[in-house]
Amino acid sequence: MNERKRLIELIKRRSYHYSENPPFKLSSGGFSNFYFNLKKTTYSPEGQYLIGKILFEKIKVLSLKIDAIGGLTLGADPIALAVARYSYDCNEPIEAFTIRKETKGHGTMLQIEGNIQKGDRVIIIDDVITTGASTIKAINAAREFGFDIQSVIVLVDRCEQNGRQNIETLGYKVHSILTVNDFR
């Protein structure tokens, strides 16, 4: 079985929930009959391997030249780390970074952490998009920091509430690894 199929099966087994009645409250405030809790996959050893490999290969297929990858904590963190680790194993290291929801109130008072600097070419990542609000928050923080955003990649696009379109109106192409249609 190829890596993409293995990842779909892993997500189905660990992270995808479905109910005839819409009991799942989304961050947007709406309710849905399906829900992805991707942390059960993205934090697992097999999930880390598959995600790192698949996203690294996607970056290569898209011919993106980047210095770093990251997004809003908590959903983006394990994905960024998986890609960074896999890229190192391939002798083409990509740095990982994380974006706090709010600027740190002490120490260096940074909102973005990692071995990164202004002007770095980056990909913004997220685990799931519905409205795109958390991804947009990450994009805005990254732009304010001074990153050169090359693209946006999401692990799963729920294909509802205009998430992809909301992000693309900011001028960034969104690439999804999987969509909700892979789970129906």
Q: Which tokens is 126 given? A: 């997220």
Structural domain harbouring 171: 3-183
Closest CA to 123 of 99, 100, 157: 99
The pLDDT value recorded for residue 102 is 84
122-155 pLDDT per residue, tens: 999 999 999 999 999 999 999 999 999 999 999 9
Closest CA to 50 of 115, 2, 12: 2
Reduced to 3 states (helix: H, G, I; strand: E, B; else coil), residue 25 is strand
- Summary mean pLDDT of the chain: 95
78: exposed, middle or buried (Cβ count in 10 Å: 0-12, 13-18, 19+): buried
Helix, strand, coil abundance in the chain, percent, nearest 5: 40, 25, 35
Share of the chain above pLDDT 90, in %: 85
Bridge partners for 175 per DSSP:
153
How far apart, in whole angstroms, are the C-alpha atoms of residue 74 and residue 92?
25
What is the reported pTM?
0.95
DSSP type of residue 105: S
167: domain CATH number is: 3.40.50.2020
DSSP type of residue 181: G
How far apart, in whole angstroms, are the C-alpha atoms of residue 10 and residue 119?
36
Number of structural domains, the chain?
Answer: 1
